[in-house]
Amino acid sequence: MAPKSDAVEEGMREGEVGRVLREQGRTLAVAESCTGGLLGQRITAVPGASAYFLGGIIAYHNEAKMRLLGVPREIIAGHGGVSAECTRAMACGARERLSADYALAISGIAGPGGGTPDKPVGLVYVALAAPTGIWVEEHRFQGSRDGNRWSACEAALELLLRQARGT
| Structural domains in the chain plus CATH codes | 29-165 (3.90.950.20)
> Is residue 46 a contact partner of residue 14, using CB atoms and an 8 Å limit?
yes
Report the sign of the C-alpha dihedral through residues 3, 144, 93, 66, in that order.
Answer: negative
Q: What is the pTM of this model?
A: 0.94
Provide the 8-state DSSP code for 109.
Answer: -
Tens-place pLDDT, residues 126-150: 999 999 999 999 999 999 999 999 9
Q: Within 13 Å, how many C-alpha atoms sit on residue 71's CB side? A: 34
Percent pLDDT > 90 in the chain is: 92
> Is residue 86 a contact partner of residue 127, using CB atoms and an 8 Å limit?
no
The pLDDT of residue 3 is above 70: no
Which residue, 12, 24, 10, 28, is CA-closest to 160? Answer: 28
Using only C-alpha atoms, the chain has a radius of gyration, in whole angstroms, of 15
Q: How would you classify the pairing of strands 53-58 and 102-108?
A: unpaired
The pLDDT of residue 14 is above 60: yes
